Protein backbone atom coordinates (compact mmCIF):
# COMPACT_ATOMS: atom_id res chain seq x y z
CA UNK A 1 0.00 0.00 0.00
CA UNK A 2 2.81 2.43 0.87
CA UNK A 3 4.62 1.91 -2.43
CA UNK A 4 1.33 2.42 -4.32
CA UNK A 5 0.78 5.66 -2.39
CA UNK A 6 4.28 6.87 -3.28
CA UNK A 7 3.94 5.92 -6.96
CA UNK A 8 0.53 7.59 -7.22
CA UNK A 9 1.85 10.72 -5.53
CA UNK A 10 4.85 10.86 -7.86
CA UNK A 11 2.50 10.72 -10.87
CA UNK A 12 1.03 14.01 -9.59
CA UNK A 13 4.45 15.69 -9.47
CA UNK A 14 5.04 18.86 -11.48
CA UNK A 15 8.45 19.73 -12.93
CA UNK A 16 9.97 22.81 -14.47
CA UNK A 17 13.38 24.07 -15.54
CA UNK A 18 14.64 27.04 -13.55
CA UNK A 19 15.93 29.23 -16.36
CA UNK A 20 18.25 31.29 -14.17
CA UNK A 21 20.11 28.27 -12.86
CA UNK A 22 19.51 25.59 -15.50
CA UNK A 23 18.28 23.27 -12.75
CA UNK A 24 15.14 21.15 -12.59
CA UNK A 25 12.58 21.87 -9.88
CA UNK A 26 9.89 19.39 -8.89
CA UNK A 27 7.06 19.45 -6.40
CA UNK A 28 3.94 17.54 -5.44
CA UNK A 29 1.30 20.25 -5.06
CA UNK A 30 -1.01 18.25 -2.75
CA UNK A 31 1.83 17.73 -0.29
CA UNK A 32 2.95 21.03 1.12
CA UNK A 33 6.71 21.25 1.46
CA UNK A 34 7.55 18.28 -0.76
CA UNK A 35 9.90 19.65 -3.40
CA UNK A 36 13.36 19.06 -4.85
CA UNK A 37 15.79 20.51 -7.35
CA UNK A 38 18.71 18.96 -9.18
CA UNK A 39 20.83 19.29 -12.31
CA UNK A 40 18.98 16.58 -14.24
CA UNK A 41 15.33 15.60 -14.42
CA UNK A 42 16.09 12.05 -13.28
CA UNK A 43 18.06 13.32 -10.26
CA UNK A 44 15.20 15.68 -9.48
CA UNK A 45 12.71 12.79 -9.56
CA UNK A 46 14.91 10.73 -7.22
CA UNK A 47 15.33 13.65 -4.80
CA UNK A 48 11.60 14.34 -4.89
CA UNK A 49 10.74 10.72 -4.11
CA UNK A 50 13.18 10.75 -1.20
CA UNK A 51 11.67 13.98 0.11
CA UNK A 52 8.20 12.45 -0.21
CA UNK A 53 9.23 9.37 1.78
CA UNK A 54 10.69 11.55 4.55
CA UNK A 55 7.54 13.72 4.55
CA UNK A 56 5.27 10.67 4.87
CA UNK A 57 7.31 9.18 7.73
CA UNK A 58 7.43 12.50 9.56
CA UNK A 59 3.68 13.00 9.29
CA UNK A 60 2.97 9.45 10.44
CA UNK A 61 5.36 9.84 13.40
CA UNK A 62 3.54 13.03 14.47
CA UNK A 63 0.09 11.52 13.81
CA UNK A 64 -0.62 14.20 11.20
CA UNK A 65 -3.11 13.55 8.40
CA UNK A 66 -1.98 12.52 4.94
CA UNK A 67 -3.93 13.41 1.81
CA UNK A 68 -5.84 10.62 0.10
CA UNK A 69 -4.15 9.94 -3.25
CA UNK A 70 -5.99 8.03 -5.97
CA UNK A 71 -8.25 6.51 -3.33
CA UNK A 72 -5.34 5.36 -1.15
CA UNK A 73 -5.82 6.39 2.48
CA UNK A 74 -2.77 5.93 4.73
CA UNK A 75 -4.57 6.99 7.86
CA UNK A 76 -3.03 5.45 10.96
CA UNK A 77 -5.67 3.61 12.94
CA UNK A 78 -5.53 3.20 16.69
CA UNK A 79 -4.06 -0.03 17.96
CA UNK A 80 -5.07 -1.43 21.34
Q: How far is CA 36 from CA 56, 74, 79, in A?
A: 15, 23, 34
Task: Identify the three-state secondary structure at position 12.
Answer: coil
**Distance between CA atoms of 19 and 24, rounded to whole angstroms?**
9
pLDDT value at position 79?
A: 65
Decide: 24 and 40 in contact? Cβ < 8 Å. Answer: yes
| Domains in the chain with CATH codes | 2-61 (3.30.160.250)
pTM: 0.89
pLDDT value at position 80?
A: 60
pLDDT value at position 77?
A: 72
Q: Collect the ranges in the chain with pLDDT lower than 50.
A: none
Amino acid sequence: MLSNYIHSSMRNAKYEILSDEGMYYGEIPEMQGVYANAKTLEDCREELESALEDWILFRISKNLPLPIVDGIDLRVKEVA
